[in-house]
Structure 1
Amino acid sequence: MLERIDTFCLKVRDIERSSQWYQEKLRLKETFRDDGYRILSVGDSRVPITIEEGETARSNHQSYPIFFTSTIEETYETLRERGVEVSELQRDEVNTFFDLYDLDGNRLQVCFWE
């Protein structure tokens, strides 16, 4: 039946501008392009992000991808220096994490756990 997650889709208003943002700010690599959408690879992960041009709506109930990094503090500072909107760095009993937002207000999260 279901074998794997193929991709995670996010809606964006301007596909060209958003693709550039994801490549420049998050260092994702555009691996496929077609009318109205782009596929971006994430490090060595097999699950890419697909950005799709369409109506966007910022919501607290939005699904969002969570990226992993082993260098959470460095990643946090690098994204802040690149002008990415980020939340405060947070820690709980298991994880260290922060939220970030793309040009359309899509929530993404970065985490680290041992």
Structure 2
Amino acid sequence: MNNAFLEQIHYFRVPVNNLEQSIQWYTEILGLQLRFNQDNLAVLALKSGPLYVLVEADHDSRGHFTVKGNPEFSVGFVTSRIREFHTYLTTRDVQVESMQEDQGHNFFYFYDPSGNKLQVHN
């Protein structure tokens, strides 16, 4: 018997400290498109994939978790221009970690204004 009722992921919810600041950062720095903004919630979108929902949350809330005390990312993005993107984020004063390589794939971590750890890979 197949119990695969779920078909796709519709959206991810990410806590942020300041909704308006975060909307500006995600749209201007990352290029996501604002679809909806009301009360303490904003819906953003990329060209494809699940929606990215920002929720104004308690100040100490984060969208990542820790393993042995170290933050681990929950959201991973994809780009075909990873080195250019790394430079772009660095020149915009985004907290960016160094480029890493794993089995032919490049990736790095970066943080949004609320301190959420994010990853991008090619």
Same fold (TM over 0.5): yes
1:50 — aligned with what?
Answer: 53
Distance 1:83 1:15, change over 3 A: same
1:103 — aligned with what?
Answer: 113
How much identity, in percent, do the aligned residues show?
A: 34
Please say if residues 41 and 53 of structure 2, whose CA atoms lie closer than 8 Å, have aligned partners that are also in contact.
Answer: yes
CA distance in structure 2 between the partners assigned to 1:39 and 1:82 by the alignment:
23
1:92 — aligned with what?
Answer: 102
Q: TM-score, normalised on structure 1?
A: 0.89
Amino acid paired to 2:86:
Y
- 2:26 aligned with 1:22: yes
2:38 — aligned with what?
Answer: 34
Cα displacement (A) at 1:103 = 0.8
Question: Where do 5+ consecutive residues of structure 1 fail to align?
Answer: none
Equivalent residue pairs, number: 111
Give the number of the structure whose alpha-carbon radius of gyration is greater: 2
Query: C-alpha root-mean-square deviation of aligned residues, in Å?
Result: 1.5
Which 4+ residue blocks in structure 1 deviate beyond 6 angstroms? none
User: C-alpha offsets along residues 18-58 of structure 1, whole Å, 9 cap, x if unaligned?
Assistant: 1111111111111111211101112x113121010112147
